Amino acid sequence: MKNKPRNIEPPESPIIISLEQAIRERRSVHYFKRGSRIARAQWRTLFELTSLSPSSFNFQPWDFVIIEDEARKRALRPLCMNQQQILDAAAIIGVIGDKNPHRRDRAILQQFVNNGYFDTGVRDAYLGAVDMLYPDEGRRIEHAVGGASLAAMTLMLAAQGMGLATAPLIGFDVRAVTAFLGVPRDYLVVMLIAIGHSALHELPRQQRRPFQEIVHQEHFGHAPE
Ligand SMILES: Cc1cc2nc3c(=O)[nH]c(=O)nc-3n(C[C@H](O)[C@H](O)[C@H](O)COP(=O)(O)O)c2cc1C
């Protein structure tokens, strides 16, 4: 049977806190310990976990640019409303969305065949369907931003579990940062994430909109039970 459940042995985990704890304790950190570094092995783990994020057709419309160099961070800061996190964090990650979901369609749809999800006939039908799903610039931008944002969230939670602190940032000059990171035409900078070690207690977390307000039952506008 093709989809018989397998016993998958997880690799030894670098994460020792529960998922709930990671979600509850993650904050957008404003105060990073200056001069801290992230080890190469930690980067590997972080991006291996990040890459497990879901995406439409498994197209994985995300790329990441790591900026660790002090001079580069100093040059980046004025492009980001002079936000201090840019300088203090161990690194800044440029989260890049891929506007061309067709780039890898043949190879990725073939993986679905190789892994027993569907046959070559369905693969060929999907090759066309992908064109219909992402027919214009607007849909491609949505796909790039949505996919890269899901990966960014995985990254921030994985980092939290690994004892790292993060801060998502969108307060920057998009054109200037796009050029600074050398991002090609078909891609866009979805956000930056400062990452490092937290230095101080943050102010209390801001309130969230309550269940009754954000959840709708059956139809938008109907109060949940
Ligand atoms: C896409 C995105 C962009 C953000 N940009 C900034 C930013 O430029 N500067 C900043 O100080 N915080 C930024 N934030 C952080 C938010 O202010 C923060 O997530 C929100 O106030 C909730 O706080 P918490 O993350 O600590 O729970 C951003 C968050 C997101 C998700």
Whether the Cβ atoms of residue 92 and residue 73 lie closer than 8 Å to each other: yes
pLDDT of 129:
81
| Element holding 62 (H helix, E strand) | strand 62-67
Cα(18) to ligand 1 centroid in Å equals 23
Distance (Å) of CA 213 to CA 197, 218, 219, 223: 34, 14, 13, 8
pLDDT of 1:
38
Sequence ranges of the domains in the chain: 37-99+146-202
Whether the Cβ atoms of residue 37 and residue 90 lie closer than 8 Å to each other: yes
Of 24, 27, 28, best ligand 1 pocket probe by most atoms within 8 Å of the beta carbon? 28
pTM: 0.93
Cα(58) to ligand 1 centroid in Å equals 27
User: Which CATH fold would you assign to the domain 37-99+146-202?
Assistant: NADH Oxidase (3.40.109)
pLDDT in tens, 110-165: 999 999 999 999 999 998 787 788 889 999 999 999 999 999 999 999 999 999 99
Tokens of 92: 């800044």
**Ligand 1: residues within 6 Å at CB?**
27-28, 83, 168-171, 191, 205-206
pLDDT in tens, 12-44: 677 889 999 999 999 999 999 999 999 999 999
Interatomic CA distance for residues 57 and 40, integer angstroms: 30
